[in-house]
Structure 1
C-alpha cells in the first residue's frame, strides 16, 4: 500500500472597502447612513465614510505526496485551487450585498487519495464554501492519474464510449440511489443520474470498485446532501479500458 501525507494550509483575509465618502453621497436623497446601508456598508461617522468588510477564511488540504509524484498532478491541483481562491476573492471584493456590513466567507478544500494499483491513483477534492445566501455550498472534483505514463485519465479514457458504458453504469447507480432515498421523487434521480457522461464525471477508482459522486441538487434536493454510489469492478470490467 502506498502511503501519503496531506498538507493543510490556511489563510484569512479581511477586505475593507470604502464605498463612498460624504461628498460622493451628498446628492443622494435620504440620510448618508441609509444610503450606505443600501450599498451593503456601514457608515463611519467619525471618518465620514461608508465601509464594507468581507472576512474570507480559506483552508486547503493539499495532497503533497501524490502531487509530488507527477508534474501533471501538481499542475492540475494547483490550477483547481487557484481557480477556487480567485473566485471567492472576487466575490469578496464585490461590495454590493444587501445590508452586508460584515460578510464572513469561507473556502474549504479537503483531499482524499485512492489507489487502484501502484500505477493508477484517484484524487477526490471536496469543496465547501460560503459566499452569502441561505446556506453553504459544496461540490466534488475528482481526478484520476496514470502514474506510469504521467497522464490524467477522464471518464472516456477509463470507460471507452465504444463500450457503451452508461448502459451498464446508469441503471446500477439509479437503483442504488432509489434504494438509499426511498422517499424522494424518482425524477430527481432519473434526471441527475441519466445516461449522460457529465453526470458521472466525478469518480474514483479503488482496488475493487468505482465510486461515483453526485453534488447537492444533482440527484436530490440540498437537504439530502451529496450522494455517492459504489459499484464493484467485477460488474464493470467488460466496459472498462485495461488499466495498470
Structure 2
C-alpha cells in the first residue's frame, strides 16, 4: 500500500538533490501531496494521519519539502509524537523563511529530512534524523538529531540522565577529544601540506575540537547505541554536527566510546544496558 508513496518520495529526494546542486534551476509549481485545500497564502498545511507517521512531500514554485519516517516509530506513540514535533519545527522554520524572503528568480528553498532506524530491540529503539534545510546563503543548514527511546520506560534517554556527574563528563570528554585530535592529524597528514600550513590548520581545527568537545553535557546530546553481545550495548557513538568540532567542510564527525570507558560514569539505572567486560 505504501509503495506508490515511497516512489514519489524517491523522486522528490532526487529533486532535492538537484536543487541543492543547481540553485538557479527553477522547479515547476506542483500541488502539494494530500487531499486538503491550500491555505489562503497558498501554503499546503502539513497533515499527519492521526496516530501514524506518514512520509511528507510538498512542492511549490519556491520550495520543496521531503520528510520520511521509519515504520518502526509508529510502534510507540510517544516517540512518534517527538519525531513529528521535530519535523514540524523544521518545516515551520523553512516556511517562515519562505514567507519573509524576497527570492531571486529561480531560487528554491528546500527541506530534506530522513528518519532512519539505528537499533530496534525489546529494550530500545534508536532513530537518527539526518537532513538539511536551505533558506539562502552559501550552503544548506544541516539537521542532525538522535533519539534513543527506552521501551520499558516509554521515554527518551537523555545525556543528562545517562551520565549525571560533571566529573564523569571530564573523563568522557578527554577520551573523545583524543580521538578527534588523532583523526584530525590523520586527515591533515593525508593532504601532505607544507609544515607552516599544517601547523596553522592543526591550531585552528584543534581549537574547534577543544571547544566543541569540552566536558559540558550540552556538547554530547547526540549519541547512538552501538550493539554488542547478548543484546547489550558495546558502547555509544557520539555525533557532532558540522561546525561543532570542525569546519563545515569536515561534515558530521563521530567518536565511538566503548562500554569499558563509559560504564564507571553511567548512572546505575542504565548500566544494565551495556555489556560488562
Report the TM-score when normalising by structure 1.
0.73
Which residues of 2 match residues 188-203 of structure 1 at below 5 A?
A: 188-203=208-223
Query: 1:184, CA displacement in angstroms?
Result: 5.6
- Return the match for 1:222 from 248, 252, 261: 248
Aligned equivalent of 2:93, options 87, 96, 99: 87
**Alignment equivalent of 2:67, drawn from 60, 68, 74:** 60
C-alpha distance 218-103 of structure 1, shift in aligned 2 (>3 A)? same
Give the Å deviation of 1:204.
1.4
Q: How much has 1:117 moved relative to structure 2?
A: 4.7
Which runs of no fewer than 5 residues in structure 2 stay unpaired? 1-52, 186-202, 228-233
Distance 2:162 2:125 in 1: 12
Q: Which has the larger radius of gyration?
A: 1
The one of the two structures with greater contact order (alpha-carbon pairs below 8 A, sep at least 6) is 1
Point out the more displaced range, 112-121 or 102-111. Answer: 112-121
Of 137, 145, 150, 2:149 maps to: 145
Q: Secondary structure at the match of 2:246?
A: coil
Aligned 1:146-225 pairs, distance under 5 A: 146-161=150-165, 164-182=167-185, 185-207=205-227, 208-225=234-251
**Corresponding residue for 1:22?**
none
Structure 2 length as normaliser, TM-score? 0.65
From the two aligned structures, give the one with the greater helix fraction: 2
**TM-align CA RMSD:** 2.2
- Kindly state the Cα deviation for residue 202 of structure 1 after the two structures are TM-superposed: 0.6
Structure having the higher strand fraction is 1
Taking a change above 3 Å as real, the CA distance of residues 84 and 188 of structure 1, as seen in their structure-2 partners, is: same
